[in-house]
Amino acid sequence: MLPYGYGTPTDPYKAIELFHSAAQQNDKHAYYNLGMLYQCGVILNNVYIVEPSRVKAIQHFKRATELGNKDASQLYDELCGYRTILIPPPIQPDITIDFEIVD
């Protein structure tokens, strides 16, 4: 795995090239990985080789989502501001109790 150097020397340039190549073949994982690269950016020797781009990250996550990548779907929703915390409504009691105050 070129991005991490598993079984081969690390080569981020080749990894990015392969992600783009796989994305052209509609690989949902490649689109997800490209989204991650653009969301965070890639730094090599203190220089960005991929500049962070929210717009490009959203585009790649959207395409990965369309192809069925559930992880990309969550990130797409978060970047677009669609994710909200759902608070359940208060629980209504099933019974009522009548009482009276006696002096």
Q: How far apart are CA 51 and CA 101, in angstroms?
A: 71
Q: What is the extent of the structural domain holding 55? A: 12-80
pLDDT tens readout for residues 27-77? 999 999 999 999 999 888 888 899 999 999 999 999 999 999 999 998 998
Q: Which residues pair with 42 in a beta bridge?
A: 50
Asked, for residue 89, whether it belongs to a domain, the answer is no
7: helix, coil or strand? coil
In a domain, 68, yes or no: yes
- Indicate the number of domains in the chain: 1
Q: Say if 26 falls within a structural domain.
A: yes
Q: What is the pLDDT of residues 86-98, one digit of tens each?
A: 556 666 666 666 6
CA distance 3 to 5: 6
Tell me, what CATH number does 18's domain have? 1.25.40
Residue 19 lies in a domain: yes
